[in-house]
């Protein structure tokens, strides 16, 4: 448990709360037993609840997993009184809140606003890896590496989809927090909490732009691959038409029946080969003029 103070404010950050941590929070802030039970581990759903002396809400945000190359949903539970903000989380947040400064806030409303805004800014920084991957895909699209590009796009789609799922869960929470926060704080609560809604909307717009870009890249890459397949099929079809008649001729002469022409001619082999070559050359010229080859 990490406790930071500034003037009349406290920020209590609890990572993976122990039984002792929960007893302290319950006694210090008079938490309802259901809330204490909720703080023992990650919750099944996000929600906002208003009590006489505090607000309780569950906030989800995405964390990028470098090993899995995708975003995973992480949870922070908030308990907010008039002079204290408590954050409880169950995953190692690393540098997520490392640079946060409590001294910029004058009251718990501003402190809550600054913490959530800091998390949203962190979310936006995490989107950089998506943008960088999209730029890398763009550079390789027209270099004849369609299979590799499609594999990269598949990973990108999974990453953006999982990121979007976590971020979309924030919207109903922030709306509910706005409604209950105005009752809890009065004054400037609507301004501060509306600002968080605006910051969240910026993230959602970026995610939507990236989704559309990835879909466009996938469509273009599929078109390039289909064009290659069509070109290859056209070549093989043309080769089949070129060789089939002469394979048939060769098969006929290979029967060596009594009435087969040229069988007894001393130059039969070269006459047949020459005729087949001339015929094939004629078909090649004809196919090229028609644009079939």
Annotated domain spans of the chain: 2-227, 231-290
pLDDT category at 263 given cuts 50, 70, 90 is low
pLDDT value at residue 210: 92
Which of the two residues, 8 and 253, has the higher pLDDT score?
Answer: 8
| Stronger pLDDT, 108 or 140, i.e. the higher one | 108
List the alpha helices (DSSP H) in the chain.
19-29, 33-38, 108-126, 128-140, 146-168, 170-185, 189-254, 268-290
pLDDT at 132 over 70: yes
Read off the pTM.
0.76
**Is residue 184 scored above 70 in pLDDT?**
yes
CATH superfamily of 2-227: CorA soluble domain-like (3.30.460.20)
Q: What's the whole-number mean pLDDT along residues 61-71?
A: 80
What does the alpha-carbon distance between residue 256 and residue 228 come to, in Å, rounded to a whole number?
Answer: 43
- C-alpha separations of 255 from 250, 252, 269 in Å: 9, 6, 14
Query: Does position 236 have pLDDT exceeding 80, yes or no?
Result: no
Say which residues have a Cβ less than 8 Å from residue 169's Cβ, sequence separation at least 6: 46, 60, 73
Mean pLDDT of 150-166: 89
DSSP 280: H
Give the percent of the chain with pLDDT over 70: 88
Tell me what the pLDDT averaged over the chain comes to.
85
Measured at the alpha carbon of residue 52, what is the angle toward residues 46 and 54, in degrees to the nearest 5? Answer: 50
């Amino acid at each position: 448990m990490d406790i930071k103070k500034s003037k009349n404010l406290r920020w209590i950050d609890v990572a993976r709360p122990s039984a002792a941590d929960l007893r302290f929070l319950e006694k210090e802030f008079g938490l309802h037993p259901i809330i204490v039970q909720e703080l023992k581990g990650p919750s099944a759903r996000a929600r906002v609840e208003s009590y006489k002396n505090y607000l309780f809400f569950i906030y989800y945000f995405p964390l990028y997993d470098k090993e899995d190359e995708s975003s995973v949903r992480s949870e922070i539970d908030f308990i907010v009184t008039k002079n204290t903000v408590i954050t409880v989380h169950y995953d190692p947040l690393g540098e997520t809140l490392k640079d946060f400064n409590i001294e910029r806030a004058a009251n718990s409303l501003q402190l809550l606003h600054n913490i959530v805004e800091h998390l949203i800014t962190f979310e936006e920084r995490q989107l950089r890896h998506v943008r960088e991957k999209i730029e890398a895909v763009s550079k390789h699209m027209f270099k004849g590496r369609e299979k590799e590009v499609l594999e990269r796009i598949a990973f990108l789609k999974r990453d953006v989809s999982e990121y979007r799922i976590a971020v979309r869960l924030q919207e109903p929470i922030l709306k509910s927090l706005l409604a209950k926060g105005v009752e809890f704080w009065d004054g400037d609560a609507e301004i501060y909490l509306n600002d968080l809604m605006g910051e969240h909307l910026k993230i959602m717009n970026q995610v939507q732009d990236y989704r559309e870009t990835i879909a466009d890249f996938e469509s273009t890459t599929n078109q390039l691959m289909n064009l290659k397949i069509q070109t290859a099929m056209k070549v093989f079809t043309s080769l089949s038409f070129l060789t089939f008649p002469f394979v048939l001729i060769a098969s006929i002469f290979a029967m060596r029946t009594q009435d087969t022409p040229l069988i007894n001619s001393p130059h039969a082999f070269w006459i047949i080969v020459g005729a087949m070559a001339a015929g094939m050359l004629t078909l090649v010229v004809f196919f090229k003029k028609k644009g079939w080859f």
